[in-house]
Structure 1
Amino acid sequence: MKTRKPLAGKTLCCTGVETKTRLQIIKNIDTLGGINYDDLMTDVQYLIVGNRKTEKYKFCIKYRPDIIFLTQDSIIKAYENWKIGEIDEIRLEDYKLPIFDEINTCFSRVDLPQFQIKNLINNASFRKSHIREEEFTSKKLMQSILDNGGKAKESLSNNQDCMISADPRGTRYDKAIEWKIPVVHPIWILDSILRGAALDFEDYILQEDNDQLYEKGCNDWNEIINPKPIKEKLPPITTNKDLPKKVNKSHKAEIWNSIMDNTKVQKKSKEQDSTWNDEESDSENEEPLKPTTTIDKKSKSTLFLGFCFLFVGLNSRESELLSERIETFQGEITKDVYDNSITHILVSANQGNHTPSTLKLLPSETKQKITNGEIKLVTEFFIERCIFYQKVILDRWGQPIKGLIQSTKKFKISTTGFTGIELLHIGKLIKFLNFEYCESLSDQRDLLILNINLFKESFMKNSPKLFQYKCKDILNCPTYQSGQSSVSLLSAKSKIDAAKKWNIPIVSIGYLWEIFEISRYKSILLMPEISNQQWCIYAPINYTRPKSLIEYIKNLNEEAFVTKSIEKGSDDENLIKLPSPKKIKTKQKYGKLIGTSSPQSIRNKLIEISKSNNSIGEMEENNQNKENYDITIDEDLSSQIRYEDDESMNNQERLLKKLDNSLNKNDEMELVQIRKRRRR
């Protein structure tokens, strides 16, 4: 029986590897007894490379000469060979990444004058005893590329990774610049062979200065040319009884400075640090493996060790809760705004665009430190994310959102495909906008936000622009949670189908974030167009629902979509108004309308009517079969209109009797005729 696993004592890390492959690699590493880190820890010995354009690779190639680079399939192949019994021991050095693996190059005007070659070699100490002058020929340099896994041609095409040239002139050079293909100096080939891995193109971009030495590709060439043996870390001898117990790693290590800001934190074991890789958001969408939310009371985590927080604008309840969590992880709280040890200023996430005014009372020295980046400005989301993932994550989620402005119109928004802390924070952001967050989807919803990582393979093929949204760390939302299976694909697909059936727009989280981006420093909340391919997954073709929420607001027009109050008589009162739908009512049979005013005006009106061709009697005869008829009333009489009933008839009779005495004889006969007609 084997007493030791083949990768015992080996520490590895992945970069640029697709999630599905990465999960398989991690599983195999665990089976073989190795330790996988999601972050680039100081004791990582091997980096499994799926893509060289990641920050991890660029950092290691320049600052970590102790790292050995492995191919993406190295662990999987080694595991398969070990499983079928072909090998008992695994030598990871046998799976090294070829220096120029899958790098496609074009050669153009590579030959250098002899004095330039001597200058490059003699003035850079690390090259003197390792690079020979005769290697600087086009033929040998091209062969070096081919021998180390790369491709080399003299023709240029727009799918090549770089062009090798010593002369910044010519048609191919101009075309490479036009196609944004990096043009690198030939010394890049020999330096990369010396380093044992392809160096970053940016450090070898061809310059017109012939005295340029191009020596910044690696920060520690001395250790490269005089390597130190790797000390293999062997686990303590254990018995089968002791195997289930985990090795306690309580000593500290310095996490990669671009994430941890040079702060000492506790080194996470394989079980503690199985987290989503945040710092590589520009190139890969990796997800949390096992987010940890439990706290070991016997051994407090040093997650916030060395951090000093100043709370600004928080109420007593918020301050109490956050202080307890920060101090549990050995962070410090200060109330002194002049304290020189402040590392983070914490404001409430719902402050949104009011954050600058919240910070106005801070001393100018403190404000300057915030501007210079010496003090980080964060929200409670930062604390929650760090605790959830058990590592320090400073990204857009945990920073103040300047474009967060409350809406006066409540839209109903649902989500699907999200889990963990991201699901919690999305729900909070929707509520901070004064929208309504709906856990269930129905035909009454206005928007469905989908986690595009749930269907990443399909979207990358059919809608790649969804992953090109500028805020890539926002797109990196996990699709599963610790202790549970993946987010239900069936449930998400059902919601998508239902949303299409109900003509509900479907967007990525990029749409929500774009609202914040375009509303920065504005007094009103702006809404981006939904149909933009950077976030649009489905937009209804017909107009039963509008293409954007702003259009939806204008159509409904129940209230203005602004944050400031509207006073009567102000310019803002002149908003678009649509008439309410008119309800068709059954015509009621009212009596004819007649106006009352002064006796003289009534007399004149009656005489005028009697003399007209359309007298009252004639009109009644012509319309006796009609259900309803309205008489047009002059404006001066319209203020005193009543319906003609028995009481009004009696009142008219009394009024007419009073008028008899004042009317002349010529009018008397006409009035008698009118009375007769009206009594019929």
Structure 2
Amino acid sequence: MGAGDEGTTAADHPLKGLIFCCTSISADIRNDITKKATDLGAIWKQDLTSDATHLIVGDVNTPKYRYVAKQRPDVKPMRISFIEKVHDAWVSAKNVSVHELEVEHTFPPFLGLRICLTNINDEKERQRIQKITEENGGIYNGDLTKQVTHLVASNPEGKKYQFAKQWGISIVSIEWFHQSVERGMSLDEAYFSFDLPASERGQGAWIRSATGKRKLSEREGSGSSDGRVKSDPAKRKIKRAASDRLSSGSQTLWGDIMGTKSVKIDTIDEWGADAPQRTSSKAGSSATGPIDAPYVNVRTSMSMSDLQPEVPKKMFHDKGFHVYGFDSDKESQIRGIIRGFDGNTYPALQDLFEAPASRYVIIVPDSYIQADCPRISDASKAVQIVTAWWLERCLHEDKFIEPDAYLLGRPMKRHNISGFEKMTVSVTKFDGIDYLHYTKAIGKLGAEFCERVYQGRSLLIVNSADKSVHKDKMKAAEAWGIPIVSQKWLLECISEGELIPFKRYLLNTKPITEKKDGAVEVKKEGSTALEGVTVKLDPAVKVS
């Protein structure tokens, strides 16, 4: 068998003998490629086990990716497109070499990263680094911006260095760049921090194993007893599958993956208590030294009680975020919060659009109106723009709130709506985050929020969802003839960007009618202290 035939497998199951795992892949994409891979003969596992051969990567900033980069030179990091291309060829009967597709669709070490340099003055060296960056999937920035993910420095000084520390950008020594290229994966930045002595930078960042990566041909049998066939001297043609083959053969494994039946534990998950913890790589943080745990083969059998329980997914898992319009400190804080709940943040809109995610969210300040928000050029992505109020609401309820379900968390059409500037508004039955957001919204629309209800107030807004019996403010407003409306009126004004007549939102028990002179009259119904009194309201209030 010639050297050029490496990786060609049996035509009926071209991925037979391969074991896949994934990281940072959205659920819908993961389900699709899982079925395709198993149809092609591969085994798909949720956990990173000791016999895994390929890791399908969506983002380099995940524990699985970091662990493979450091401890598993035998596991190949791949793009999603690898499985898709093999599957396309399989069903269309094209000539293809699986090994060639492996090489073509390897996940490059700098994909999704933006790299800037400082204190490297040799122009030819800078040009060489730029070329290598772009050849390995990264974006090279000559100037330092907030969108840069890594500042590669020869020494810890200078303006770029200081600003990178201020903006929370990862700062690494030049060894990180060269070793990541050599490894073929982005290495943990903590091993290349300037907090470490120069002689220790890069030590233990990854295992240079002499055994290297396993080849496809090494995983194939020499005979036909197990259904595997060695490579022919030429590229093997992947045959068109019969329609029933697309659904047969993988159903048992698919049921295991989806949890519809019990799963036999045949290999130990390396992603348990033995997995090393990643050291924080934030610029300027103090380093206690990276954990340099040697890779050892774990036990081949264990009881169910030995297995580590699966870590629950947090509320921003599988979601992609771009933080826009904040100062550097606030932006860094928000990005930290999102990542703390398993979300992924991307420094540029294009990075967000290219990321695999179940939701694409842009967070802007609550001072922004819709006209201030970034324009979305990629219509194929269902991008939703929210304000920091939406994030506060999610944190308050400890769950992902659908942006469309929380109007106050979306940028308003406009602030200071005509007519609101003459109004004095009070609220009742709001508390916690609701009270905070509704009272702030009143001010953004241009009205004056007043804590207490006094005679002459323009309006009382009631949280109609609160069914409690406490109605002191409502009784006072009723007695003084102040219009009482539900919060739906305010939301309608925000949605339309104008002062909406509140007639259909009124909650007063005594009907309020408008007179020609702009006053309102409280009709006589029962005995009250102000029965029959005509109350003059602010001219800005619309009744009909």
TM-score range, shorter chain: 0.3 to 0.5
Considering only CA atoms, is the larger Rg found in Structure 1 or Structure 2? 1
TM-score (norm 1): 0.39
Structure ranking higher on relative contact order (CA contacts 8 Å, 6+ apart): 2
